[in-house]
Amino acid sequence: MTDVGKFLVIAGLLLALAGAAVWGLGSAGFRGLPGDFRYETEHVRVYFPIVTCIVLSVLASVGMWIWQWFTRR
């Protein structure tokens, strides 16, 4: 049961760090990467962060690859 507790604490800390990073980037004026789709009219606002999703996917894949590489040793 203590392993589950450790996992929850680490996951919570990582989630808090990710939230702080998003909050900080938003406060700094970051509005997305070039290539993100944005459409705004008077009554409609659509935002699809396609390039941001691709970048985050690549970073997550590299992170998982590194994690597996370290845990196999």
pLDDT in tens, the chain (73 residues): 778 888 899 999 999 998 998 889 888 887 778 888 889 999 999 988 889 889 989 999 999 999 898 888 7
Quickly list DSSP for 31-65.
---TT-EEEE-SS-EEEE-HHHHHHHHHHHHHHHH
Q: How far apart are CA 19 and CA 27, in angstroms?
A: 12
Tell me what pLDDT residue 31 has.
78
Q: Are 69 and 62 in contact (CB under 8 A)?
A: no
**pTM for the complete prediction?**
0.60
Q: How far apart are CA 69 and CA 64, in angstroms?
A: 8
Q: Residue 72 carries which DSSP code?
A: T
The overall longest dimension of the chain from CA atoms, in Å, is 57
